[in-house]
Amino acid sequence: MTKISASHNQIRDFRPDDFPAVLNIWEATNMSGAERDDDLMVIERSLLSGGRLLVMEARDTNEIIGTAWITNNGRRLYIHHFGIKPEYQNMGLGYQLGLRCLDFAREKKMQIKLEVHHSNAAAINLYKNLGFKYLDGYEVLINRDP
């Protein structure tokens, strides 16, 4: 795996004009879709509730190459839409972005949780390397049409 130095990118907070590039990453990494209902208004509402959307930007081109959306329900933080553009994957960037998520959780003094598809071995390995553990005995359920 080729590593990219942290000095070659920056991680910053989302700005509304980032939305098209962020959506592009979500589509390229299969994290978008009408059923998710994630638009700019939803993002802004989550930010007002104490969440954060981090974007990773290549310093030389200002291209947004990664995202980590952290929501806050007042009890714990949740990571959503954590992804790196496919052409930048396997370079250590996800680990850098994950560390920033953990920094935010420490600042808030809150637990942080995420969901990952069981077939995504690379992501599972990354999250384990960041200190995440399986929540034994739980299955994830969702109702998208209440």
CATH number assigned to the domain comprising residue 67: 3.40.630.30
143: left (phi over 0), alpha (psi -120 to 50) or beta: beta
What's the number of domains the chain is made of? 1
Task: Report if residue 111 sits inside a domain.
Answer: yes
Which segments of 1-145 does DSSP mark as H helices, in order? 19-28, 40-48, 93-108, 121-129
Task: Report if residue 64 sits inside a domain.
Answer: yes
Going edge to edge, which strands form the sheet with 112-114? 9-13, 52-58, 64-72, 77-84, 112-114
Task: Report if residue 134 sits inside a domain.
Answer: no
Task: Report if residue 137 sits inside a domain.
Answer: no
Q: Which residues constitute the domain of residue 35?
A: 6-129
Task: Report if residue 124 sits inside a domain.
Answer: yes
Task: Report if residue 144 sits inside a domain.
Answer: no
Residue with tokens 């190459």: 65
Answer for the pair 74, 50: CB distance below 8 angstroms, yes or no.
yes
Q: Which residues of the chain have pLDDT under 70?
A: 1-6, 34-35
Q: What integer pLDDT is reported at residue 144 of this predicted model?
A: 80
Task: Report if residue 141 sits inside a domain.
Answer: no
d(CA 62, CA 88): 14
**Phi and psi torsions of 120, nearest 5°:** -90, 75
Q: What integer pLDDT is reported at residue 17 of this predicted model?
A: 97
d(CA 95, CA 90): 10
Structure tokens at 33: 């879709």
